[in-house]
Chain A
Amino acid sequence: MTLFLPSNPLSNRVPKTPQDFTKPNIVTIDVGGQLFQTTKQTLTLAGSNTLFSNLFNSSEQNNTIPFIDRDPELFSILLSLLRTGYLPSKAKSFEIQDLVFEAKFYGVQDFLVESQSNPSQFEAFDLEKSMILPLSGRDSPSAIATTLNGSVHVSHGSKITSFDWSLQRKSTILTQFSAVDSLLSLSSNVVAAGATDFSGLQIIDLEMGFVVKTLNWENVTKSGSTVQAIGSSPEFLFTSFESSRRNSNSILVYDLNDGFKVASEIGHNEIFGADLDSAIPSTKLNWVPSLNLLMASGSHSGPSGVSGNIKFWDIRSRDLVAEIKEKVDCFSDITVSDTLSAVFKIGMNSGEVSYIDFRNMSSDNSWNCLGVSRKAMNVKKEGLGCKIESHGNQVFCSKEGELELWSEVLMGSLTTGKNGKEERIFKQNVLGRSKDIGGNRITNLGFGGNKMFVTRKDQQCVEVWQSSVRRF
């Protein structure tokens, strides 16, 4: 999974005989008065348009040792990084900020990000609570958005605070929202933000600190359009809007590569009379790459309990491909895992995790409960406030302050269940050492880089969980 591979790292490294020095392959550099020797190959790894590539062009021309007026110790660390792809342990005598700054100077910051916050280093079974990121003010986090390289944006009250991939730097901006309910990062410093009490989806540039674009849904009632959920695929941004009068809703598909132009509109619902069930707005949007479908799910609480639906949309033809109606033990939260080819939910009544394999969704669409299935008829709402998210090969599920990790156990031979269908085995374990278990109710779960981010009710901070390997 590493994006860079040092090509045959040991060849041509150590000169065996003195005449090897004459080989143009070996480069000598003077950094701040200290001499370094390395190979062209190592330096070319940094890329074609960096300081290093200019370096040997000039040294070849006038046959002198190039001099760089920088700190030699920091250079030696970055040279090791180029050679091996990893930071040497002596880097720990510096702060990551020094390395980030120096790496920027040499144009090798991508290597640093790779070595420190690579998504391939995420290890679900080795996650431990490692860091607390404090937030200013008295507002608790309402939503989080993560990026692939492990930076995280947190909305708290009317503010959005961003932490960079090293989690050492932050910046805060003020928004027009009183609280952001949905937040999604579109690039390293652009987010889409929406709220259920605010009309329009805002595309905010966090670096500049202002709204780049506001997207509205022109609904029939000519009232405002609040945002119920945001999702994205590599090409599109999906937004579930509801009219401010709450009598119509729709999912808009915006083209990310074409200035947020509306690509299509799907699942437009309008409420006529009392048929409320027909027009539940989607509160969660998940893109399923392997199916090329958008999973849109929504629920509402009615006199007969909570009911909802899960719909799979083809965004090009705007066809409804499949639908799961949730009458009994409707989901409290839902997610889909592409790697596990399944939809996972937490039942509102049972509080138990269930799944449907989306490869063989049958007409009855029955859920496979991973816990005690008879709790489905519970009158208590045990699943209220629970969160479920999938990442990698695992499904993370929060119950109050506790975090559960569900993973599939591959048994070699297939087991067949009572109903004659092939049965998959998922097992659960509780995340964290005993001192880290529990706490206030978990309100958000996010994944980025090699880290997991957790926010809790009434806690003005973000918890960072990461693997112990290669942590700076």
Chain B
Amino acid sequence: MEDGLSNSTPSDRIKLNVGGKLFETTVSTLRSGGPDSLLAALSHRHHQSSNPIFIDRDPEIFSVLLSLLRTNRLPSTSRRFTDQELSDEASYYGIESQLKSAMLPNPLSGIDASVVATIRPASDGVVSAFTTIDDGSVWIAHGGQISVYDWNLTHAGTVRTHLDYITSIRQVTPSAMAAVACDVSSGVHFYNFANGRRVGSVEWTDPTDPRIYKARVTTITESPESVFAAFDSYHKENCVLAIDKSTLQVTSEIGRQSGSSSKSIVPGNLTYVKDLGLLAANAVTSGAFGFSGYIRFWDPRSARVVWETNEPGSGRSSRFGDSFADVSIDVNEVTMCKICSKSGDLAMADLRKLSDDPWIYLRDTNPSLRNTSGGISNSVVHCYKKQVFVGRDGGLEVWSRVAQNGEHNMEIGEESFRRNYMDKLEDSERGIIKKIEGAGERLFVSREEAEGLEVWQSSVFSGAVLVL
């Protein structure tokens, strides 16, 4: 559409009669929907006749889609139709990918984002676990059900599982299969979302050790080949099992430990760092003497520990007694960050340069946030798109980098991030933030005891409100 004006011969022009309304456009516009679309197919057969091609569909919605093909953006008239109608009609014409890219959210910028939707499953609305997929869709576990919301946040379906209460969920990419687990009953279970059936289950068994019995799964993650699940037996014996995605059989056992101390309890979180080929686990417990826990990296092939840290570490550390309350690993940036339990400070580490003390404690001088550190009992941290999102009780803040002289300096420095509130005071009153996860330029936030899942997005629209 660069020149817009078509100086080309009239034979490039094409007339369409959609539901009785005449449209005229060019062959190139119709073909911009991709070679396999219905419109591209129609564009091939018109040349002989001057009669418009008749399509028996609604003309109004067609005019929206024609605008989309001409300009690559949705006109405001598209708001007369629901997202569902648009996507149904786009798939009829075979131009869903165009629609999808036009409806994609803007790049997520924490300093300028707001709640655009709250996904509320129809029953058992309190979200117990969720997992996000790169295209911005989300799989929500609520009670014993799994509900899938697609890239458009439209409800794509719900599956009832045999579990009473799902506490961990993970999509097994690229299949339409979910791995789910519960913290009171044993095993990890695989459900095929297409037909709603359970396709397999994996239990941790060890014929040589009678204590390994009815082990529960605390967290699930995946690599391109395997699913990893952390198992915890009633005797606190725990390990991570690698499960082959195609056979759903256990391929290896990683990091088995007794669970007798905070250094050997079951991981509460697993992350697979693709760039390094490492599996990261972290565990946090809080007791009378504060928080304690570990972060450990394994090579999943050799089941060898590559790096680990325990907190509180040795008494020599200046941060002794200020161990982390939550850890998040940014798989794309190959960094991790932790939030300190006592001071509320945020620290970052480069996973490529792990040493005895890899942490860089970020400093911020924002006076409006000064009194929010400390005294917070619930902290959640999540890294996404070079930003760090922190939930402190109900409040949501974002740490973002300041652009320096036109380029983003990728070195992590004490002052390379700035902290800002992302939410308003009213937002923070909706409940304690339980989990934050980003995907597809969206940030999903679940809150304790609150129904639904909040979706935060950035928008270029000002959201101006008329007050006349």
Q: Give Cα distance in the complex from A68 to B113, angstroms.
A: 38
A51-B4, A69-B70, A158-B418 known; A129 and B467 CB under 8 Å? Answer: yes
Choose, from B129-137, B298-306, B403-411, the stretch at the interface.
B403-411
In chain B, positions 81-126 with a C-beta closer than 8 Å to chain A are: 109, 111-114
Q: Which residue on A lies nearest to B415, using beta carbons? A: A176
Choose, from B22-30, B39-47, B317-325, B375-383, the stretch at the interface.
B22-30
Contact between B366 and A58, CB atoms less than 8 A apart: no
Does any Cβ of A come within 8 Å of B288's Cβ? no
- Using a CB–CB cutoff of 8 Å, the interface residues on chain B facing chain A are 1, 4-7, 10, 13, 15, 22-26, 29, 63, 66-67, 70-71, 73, 75-77, 109, 111-114, 365-368, 400-406, 418, 420-425, 460-468
Q: Give Cα distance in the complex from A174 to B7, angstroms.
A: 45
Contact between B462 and A163, CB atoms less than 8 A apart: yes
Which residues of the partner chain B approach A34 to less than 8 Å between Cβ atoms? 24
Closest 7 CB pairs of A and B: A33-B24, A95-B76, A172-B112, A138-B421, A210-B403, A170-B462, A132-B465
Contact between A138 and B424, CB atoms less than 8 A apart: yes
Tell me how far the C-beta of A407 lies from the nearest C-beta in chain B, rounded to whole angstroms: 24
Q: Which residue on B lies nearest to A170, using beta carbons? A: B462
Tell me how far the C-beta of A225 lies from the nearest C-beta in chain B, rounded to whole angstroms: 19
Contact between B24 and A67, CB atoms less than 8 A apart: yes
Tell me how far the C-beta of B381 lies from the nearest C-beta in chain A, rounded to whole angstroms: 19
Contact between A210 and B405, CB atoms less than 8 A apart: yes
Contact between B368 and A138, CB atoms less than 8 A apart: yes
Q: Which residue on A lies nearest to B366, using beta carbons? A: A178
Which residues of the partner chain B approach A209 to less than 8 Å between Cβ atoms? 403
Which residues of the partner chain B approach A119 to less than 8 Å between Cβ atoms? none
A157-B366, A161-B112 known; A136 and B422 CB under 8 Å? Answer: yes
Choose, from A97-105, A305-313, A379-387, the stretch at the interface.
A97-105
Tell me how far the C-beta of A425 lies from the nearest C-beta in chain B, rounded to whole angstroms: 33
16 additional A-B residue pairs with CB within 8 Å, beyond A54-B5, A172-B111: A51-B4, A55-B5, A66-B5, A67-B26, A69-B29, A69-B70, A71-B67, A131-B465, A132-B467, A133-B463, A137-B422, A159-B420, A163-B462, A170-B461, A172-B112, A460-B424
> Chain A contact residues: over half helix, strand or loop, or mixed?
mixed
Q: Give Cα distance in the complex from A30 to B403, angstroms.
A: 47
Does any Cβ of B come within 8 Å of A64's Cβ? yes
Q: Give Cα distance in the complex from A157 to B421, angstroms.
A: 10
Which residues of the partner chain A approach B7 to less than 8 Å between Cβ atoms? 58, 66
Q: Which of A58, A71, A132, A172 contacts B5 (CB 8 A)?
A: A58
Which residues of the partner chain A approach B75 to less than 8 Å between Cβ atoms? 71, 74, 94, 98
Tell me how far the C-beta of B172 lies from the nearest C-beta in chain A, rounded to whole angstroms: 36
9 examples of A-B residue contacts, CB within 8 angstroms:
A32-B66, A33-B25, A67-B6, A70-B71, A133-B464, A138-B368, A159-B112, A170-B112, A210-B403
Does any Cβ of B come within 8 Å of A90's Cβ? no
Q: Which of B29, B66, B403 contacts A174 (CB 8 A)?
A: B403
Q: Which of A32, A128, A132 contacts B464 (CB 8 A)?
A: A132
Q: Which of A130, A139, A179 contacts B466 (CB 8 A)?
A: A130
Q: Give Cα distance in the complex from A443 to B29, angstroms.
A: 51
In chain A, positions 25-52 with a C-beta closer than 8 Å to chain B are: 30, 32-34, 51
Contact between B418 and A174, CB atoms less than 8 A apart: yes
Contact between B464 and A131, CB atoms less than 8 A apart: yes
Contact between B10 and A64, CB atoms less than 8 A apart: yes
Tell me how far the C-beta of A396 lies from the nearest C-beta in chain B, rounded to whole angstroms: 19
Q: Which of B13, B26, B70, B111 contacts A136 (CB 8 A)?
A: B111
Contact between B460 and A51, CB atoms less than 8 A apart: no
Tell me how far the C-beta of A298 lies from the nearest C-beta in chain B, rounded to whole angstroms: 25
Q: Which residue on A lies nearest to B403, using beta carbons? A: A210
Does any Cβ of B come within 8 Å of A1's Cβ? no
Which residues of the partner chain A approach B405 to less than 8 Å between Cβ atoms? 210-211
A134-B463, A168-B464, A169-B462 known; A158 and B366 CB under 8 Å? Answer: yes
Tell which of A34, A67, A176 has the most Cβ of chain B within 10 Å.
Answer: A67
Which residues of the partner chain B approach A460 to less than 8 Å between Cβ atoms? 424
Q: Give Cα distance in the complex from A460 to B76, angstroms.
A: 27
Q: Which of B24, B63, B421 contacts A139 (CB 8 A)?
A: B421
Contact between A175 and B421, CB atoms less than 8 A apart: no
Q: Give Cα distance in the complex from A176 to B417, angstroms.
A: 10
Q: Which residue on B lies nearest to A96, using beta carbons? A: B76
Tell me how far the C-beta of A146 lies from the nearest C-beta in chain B, rounded to whole angstroms: 15
Q: Give Cα distance in the complex from A34 to B63, angstroms.
A: 13
Tell me how far the C-beta of B113 lies from the nearest C-beta in chain A, rounded to whole angstroms: 6
A130-B468, A174-B402 known; A138 and B24 CB under 8 Å? Answer: no
Q: Give Cα distance in the complex from A66 to B8, angstroms.
A: 10
Contact between A131 and B112, CB atoms less than 8 A apart: no
Chain A 91-129, CB-CB to B under 8 Å as 1, else 0, gives 000110110010001000000000000000000000011
Which residues of the partner chain B approach A68 to less than 8 Å between Cβ atoms? 4-6
Tell me how far the C-beta of A147 lies from the nearest C-beta in chain B, rounded to whole angstroms: 15
Contact between A137 and B111, CB atoms less than 8 A apart: yes
Contact between B466 and A131, CB atoms less than 8 A apart: yes
Q: Give Cα distance in the complex from A176 to B364, angstroms.
A: 11
Tell me how far the C-beta of A30 lies from the nearest C-beta in chain B, rounded to whole angstroms: 7
Chain A 448-462, CB-CB to B under 8 Å as 1, else 0, gives 000000000000100
Contact between B460 and A171, CB atoms less than 8 A apart: yes
Q: Which residue on A lies nearest to B459, using beta carbons? A: A170
Which residues of the partner chain A approach B6 to less than 8 Å between Cβ atoms? 67-69
Tell me how far the C-beta of A184 lies from the nearest C-beta in chain B, rounded to whole angstroms: 21
Tell me how far the C-beta of A124 lies from the nearest C-beta in chain B, rounded to whole angstroms: 18
Q: Give Cα distance in the complex from A66 to B24, angstroms.
A: 13
Q: Give Cα distance in the complex from A95 to B79, angstroms.
A: 10
Q: Give Cα distance in the complex from A278 to B304, angstroms.
A: 73
Q: Give Cα distance in the complex from A30 to B26, angstroms.
A: 12
Tell me how far the C-beta of A32 lies from the nearest C-beta in chain B, rounded to whole angstroms: 6
Tell me how far the C-beta of B152 lies from the nearest C-beta in chain A, rounded to whole angstroms: 21
Q: Which residue on A lies nearest to B114, using beta carbons? A: A136
Tell me how far the C-beta of A331 lies from the nearest C-beta in chain B, rounded to whole angstroms: 28
Tell me how far the C-beta of B2 lies from the nearest C-beta in chain A, rounded to whole angstroms: 10
Tell me how far the C-beta of B279 lies from the nearest C-beta in chain A, rounded to whole angstroms: 34
Does any Cβ of B come within 8 Å of A167's Cβ? yes
Contact between A33 and B466, CB atoms less than 8 A apart: no
A95-B76, A98-B75 known; A136 and B63 CB under 8 Å? Answer: no
Which residues of the partner chain B approach A161 to less than 8 Å between Cβ atoms? 112
Tell me how far the C-beta of B22 lies from the nearest C-beta in chain A, rounded to whole angstroms: 5
Tell which of B5, B71, B73, B114 has the most Cβ of chain A within 10 Å.
Answer: B5
Does any Cβ of B come within 8 Å of A208's Cβ? yes
Tell me how far the C-beta of A38 lies from the nearest C-beta in chain B, rounded to whole angstroms: 15
Which residues of the partner chain A approach B425 to less than 8 Å between Cβ atoms? 138
Q: Which of A69, A157, A168 contacts B25 (CB 8 A)?
A: A69
Q: Give Cα distance in the complex from A100 to B371, angstroms.
A: 44
Which residues of the partner chain A approach B402 to less than 8 Å between Cβ atoms? 174-176
Q: Give Cα distance in the complex from A163 to B463, angstroms.
A: 10
A98-B76, A136-B113 known; A128 and B468 CB under 8 Å? Answer: yes
Q: Which residue on B lies nearest to A172, using beta carbons? A: B112
